[in-house]
Amino acid sequence: MADDAAHSDVLNQAAQGQLKSIVERIERLEQEKSEIAEQIKEVFAEAKGNGFDVKILRKVVRIRKQDRAKRMEEEAILDLYLAAMGEI
């Protein structure tokens, strides 16, 4: 218990309250993140059940997040590399 008293001296009362609040907010957000991840998993399962290719859907979602100009630049470089290797 003496160790707890020493630790509480390191942070004043306001800082302790703020720290506790921050940790609790992070914990709530982590829980929400977990619940959202489960919902996303269910949507992908639904899509798979309807005959969609989940791997391609994930790729579509990833591509849509990218900036259009950046994506086009990457695709051009990819095409260049593939052409240089005789793949296309």
What tokens were used for 87? 């793949």
| pLDDT at 1 exceeding the cut of 90 | no
Write the CA distances from 57 to 28, 29, 43, 63, 81, integer angstroms: 29, 26, 11, 10, 25
pLDDT classification of 17: cutoffs 50, 70, 90: very high
Dump pLDDT digits (tens) for 60-83: 999 999 999 999 999 999 999 999
- Structure tokens, 24: 């609790």
Q: What integer pLDDT is reported at residue 4 of this predicted model?
A: 61
Q: Where are the domains of the chain?
A: 1-51, 53-88
Give residues with Cβ within 8 angstroms of 66, minimum separation 6. Answer: 74
